[in-house]
Amino acid sequence: MFLIANKFSNKFLVNIFFSLVFINYLTFFLIKEKTFFVFFGFFIIINFVLILLKNYNKNKLLILILLALCLISLSSPVSDWDGRSIWLFNAKIIFFEDSLNNFFSYSPYYSHPDYPIFLPVLSATMAKLIGTWNEVLPKFSHLILTIPPIILLTQNLNKKSSLFIFIVLILFVYEKRIINGEVDVLLSLYSISLIKLLSEITSKNPKYKNFYTDLILILFHFCFLTLFKMEGLALIFCIFFSFLIIYFKENKILSKKLLLIFIFSYMPILIWLLYAKNTGAAGGGIEISSAQKMMSGGQRFFENIINFKFILYLIGKIMINKQMIISLIIFVFIFSKYIKYNDGSKLIIENALLEKNMLLCYMSIISYTLIMITIMIMSEGSPFNIQIQYWQAMTASDRYFLPIHSMLLLCAMNLIESKKS
């Protein structure tokens, strides 16, 4: 298999992997009989193995860490609430229930039946491979989906310190979330992989042989981010419009192509939301969406924003947690190396800090942070949330901001890679 893997580029193998996963998802809506799950599941696993083998010789340490995570994932059941009661519970319904129409009848309100079922479909696919449901193999699908962006992010890292920062991201920022069946790590990895792809494609000529391969990768990133979780809609909006602000003037033709891809990528999630609303309501499953329940139209925003006790508590929860502290320490340490004072105590900012790929990260961080803070302010006190004061801020601040932690560390890696040896 080493020989087969080495015949293809990483991007080609990743595109094949994405195609198999996406076609498997689409087929679920078109064919009632689920034996196709076994067919697609087999080739998804084969492609997953090929990607790991392709990169083993170049990056043994990272691949060995990923294999260790695979073993841990396959030897432990899911225990965290979101993984067990939302994503895997919905996958279990898909595994046992032949009709998607019945999905909304069996799925209770706490499992958010209107959430995209892209990941639950893949989890059900993994279970079909062994012909029975358990609490171990289905959650492995989440880890499988982390491998492509990890490979895309690390394949061109030339500095050991960059790889070290990425390993810190995996082991100390994501921690168990990378194997526990939750979705926030996927949002984070695909968002920074998308930023990297968008930054790289601007320097490529359309006649470059892999130009359209990169465009297809970007399309899959857009689609997957929207289909993972509702926060993905905000993520790709922030990233893409930051890209347009920074790159449009010098890359008008490319920007227009990407705008079409961006618009098209919203179609799968919009179709799902319309289907869930209409079919779910008919089956007694959905009367109001999860987002509407959480934010209730935003009428609490102005009331909560002047509640200084809540605002201070929210900011504290966002800023004072292990993930944010690790990310900020590394980012500030690397960032500070590019700011100097000359003999006249004049501040000198090196050009590397103002490169366009860095500006794209900065703008994405700022815009997504503002959106998530706004949502969390609107959510506080919702009658549909658990009735514990500051519940959302208390329980979700660290994971909601995982994409921000990831972008901060991406900035650090970009700076290290930009420095000449």
Give the residue extent of every domain in the chain.
2-418
Q: Which residue has the higher pLDDT, 126 or 341?
A: 126
* C-alpha dist (Å) from residue 379 to 30, 287, 373: 36, 19, 10
pLDDT at residue 417 above 70?
yes
Q: Give the phi and the psi of residue 117 in degrees, each rounded to 5.
A: -100, 15
> Average pLDDT in the 116-120 region?
93
Torsion, Cα 91 93 96 98, to 10 degrees, reads: -110
pLDDT at residue 280 above 70?
no
**What is residue 77's predicted lDDT score, i.e. its pLDDT?**
84
The pLDDT-based confidence of 98 (bands split at 50, 70, 90) is: low
**What is residue 389's predicted lDDT score, i.e. its pLDDT?**
73
pTM: 0.94
**What is residue 397's predicted lDDT score, i.e. its pLDDT?**
87
Q: Which residue has the higher pLDDT, 270 or 302?
A: 270
Asked whether the beta carbons of 218 and 194 are under 8 A apart, the reply is: yes
Choose the weakest-confidence range: 33-42, 45-54, 132-141, 350-359: 33-42
**What is residue 413's predicted lDDT score, i.e. its pLDDT?**
97
Asked whether the beta carbons of 385 and 353 are under 8 A apart, the reply is: no
Give which of 194, 178, 104 is closest to 144, Cα–Cα: 178
Structure tokens at 219: 């399309």
**What is residue 237's predicted lDDT score, i.e. its pLDDT?**
96
Give which of 415, 375, 370, 412 is closest to 242, Cα–Cα: 370
**What is residue 366's predicted lDDT score, i.e. its pLDDT?**
97
Average pLDDT, the chain: 88
Q: Which residue has the higher pLDDT, 35 or 238?
A: 238
**Residue whose entry in the numeric block shows the structure tokens 């892999």:** 210
Q: Which residue has the higher pLDDT, 206 or 129?
A: 129
Bridge partner list, 339: 349
Give which of 165, 175, 200, 186 is closest to 333, Cα–Cα: 165
In this prediction, what percent of the chain has a pLDDT beyond 70? 90
**What is residue 340's predicted lDDT score, i.e. its pLDDT?**
83
Bridge partner list, 341: 347
End-to-end CA gap in the chain: 35
DSSP states of 242-290 = HHHHHHTTT-HHHHHHHHHHHHHHTHHHHHHHHHHHHHHHHTTS-SS-H
pLDDT at residue 82 above 80?
yes
Best-predicted range by mean pLDDT (25-34, 85-94, 259-268): 259-268
**Residue whose entry in the numeric block shows the structure tokens 């526990």:** 180
The pLDDT-based confidence of 390 (bands split at 50, 70, 90) is: confident
∠4-5-7 over CA atoms, to 5°?
A: 70
**What is residue 107's predicted lDDT score, i.e. its pLDDT?**
60
Asked whether the beta carbons of 218 and 197 are under 8 A apart, the reply is: yes
353-382 tens-digit pLDDT: 999 999 999 999 999 999 999 988 887 766
Q: Distance between CA atoms of 315 and 322, rounded to whole angstroms?
A: 14
Per-residue DSSP letter, 381: T
Structure tokens at 317: 């929860």
* C-alpha dist (Å) from residue 91 to 71, 137, 200: 21, 12, 36
> Average pLDDT in the 41-59 region?
94
Q: Which residue has the higher pLDDT, 179 or 113?
A: 179
Give the type of residue at 65.
I
* C-alpha dist (Å) from residue 331 to 67, 194, 197, 241, 254: 28, 20, 21, 24, 31
Exposed / middle / buried, residue 43 (Cβ in 10 Å: 0-12, 13-18, 19+) = middle
Q: Distance between CA atoms of 253 and 257, rounded to whole angstroms?
A: 6
Give which of 152, 92, 156 is closest to 125, Cα–Cα: 92
Give which of 222, 183, 200 is closest to 403, Cα–Cα: 183
The pLDDT-based confidence of 344 (bands split at 50, 70, 90) is: low
Residue 143 half-sphere exposure toward CB, CA atoms < 13 A? 28
In this prediction, what percent of the chain has a pLDDT beyond 90? 58
181-216 tens-digit pLDDT: 889 999 999 999 999 999 999 988 777 778 899 999
Quick one: which H or E segment has residue 396? helix 391-400
Q: Give the phi and the psi of residue 366 in degrees, each rounded to 5.
A: -65, -50
Give which of 39, 270, 226, 1 is closest to 119, Cα–Cα: 226
> Average pLDDT in the 146-173 region?
95
pLDDT at residue 110 above 70?
no
**Residue whose entry in the numeric block shows the structure tokens 């909560």:** 304
> Average pLDDT in the 251-277 region?
91
Q: Distance between CA atoms of 224 and 329, rounded to whole angstroms?
A: 30
**What is residue 273's predicted lDDT score, i.e. its pLDDT?**
86
